[in-house]
Amino acid sequence: MPTPLTILFQDDVLIAIDKPAGMLVHRTKLDAYATRFAMQTLRDQIGERVWPIHRLDKPTSGILVFGRSREAARQLSSIFEERRIEKGYRAVVRGWTDPQDTINYPLKEVLDKTTDRKAQQDKPAQEALTRFTTVAQCEVDAPVGRYDTARYSLVDVQPITGRKNQIRRHFKHIFHPILGDRKFGDRAHNSFFRDTLGVERMLLAAISLSFEHPVTGAALRIEADSGFPSAVSSLFQESKEIQ
């Protein structure tokens, strides 16, 4: 029996789950070997069809919202597309980040050879903005890469725009890649977390969504725990929060 998905919020209009890391939102040609998908699993769990509103990368965990009708999905999609929503993420990155900053770096869309064959191939880079605040930092007495010790930062992240892989690409751009990111990360530090801490997942999680309910107009905030392994949390337990 598959493990049920954690439902964070539900009413007659929408339902939000805590998607596990490593689970696709829905079936795709990009991963022909995947066997479990958030949309289909939720449908079977609650016994009704649901419509996806947005996406999370397969290795990212956290809040994922579905409409419970086609019309609800249309209304919710408008909220996301018009940026009438605040998204919050938490991540562990390599190195010590600034206390807070905004990454302003346009991103050129990365097209997939299989699913984006009909898409415009020469699109210019699009505006991309990501804000972050450093929550805590730690230093591990272990040689990783070319340094005698390894430094890491726990950051809260707010993407202002929503480009593909934006958070992952932006932190790579500022030389603070996300731990466990096999595509944009640092192989040596990923290996250290896997071999030393037993952590194989990417340490990026969608932990909050705030928006206006499409029907009632009430302010709605949905929250989730990062879901990071305790071995990761323990790294930052003795470190002081950044002021």
- Domain annotation for the chain: domains and CATH numbers: 6-237 (3.30.2350.10)
End-to-end CA distance of the chain: 46
Whole-angstrom Cα distance, residue 213 to residue 23?
27
pTM of the model: 0.91
- Cα–Cα dist 140/220, whole Å: 39
Q: Provide the annotated active-site residues.
A: 57
Q: What b/e readout covers 65-81, taking b as 16+ CB neighbours within 10 angstroms?
A: bbbbeeebbebbbebbe
Helix (H/G/I), strand (E/B), else coil: 213: coil
Cα distance between residue 87 and residue 82, in whole Å: 13
Per-residue pLDDT of the chain (243 residues; tens, 9 = 90+): 678 999 999 999 999 999 999 999 986 665 556 668 999 999 999 999 999 999 999 999 999 999 999 999 999 999 999 989 999 999 999 999 999 999 999 999 886 655 555 555 677 999 999 999 999 999 999 999 888 999 999 999 999 999 999 999 999 999 999 999 999 999 999 999 999 999 999 999 999 999 999 999 999 999 999 999 999 999 998 555 544
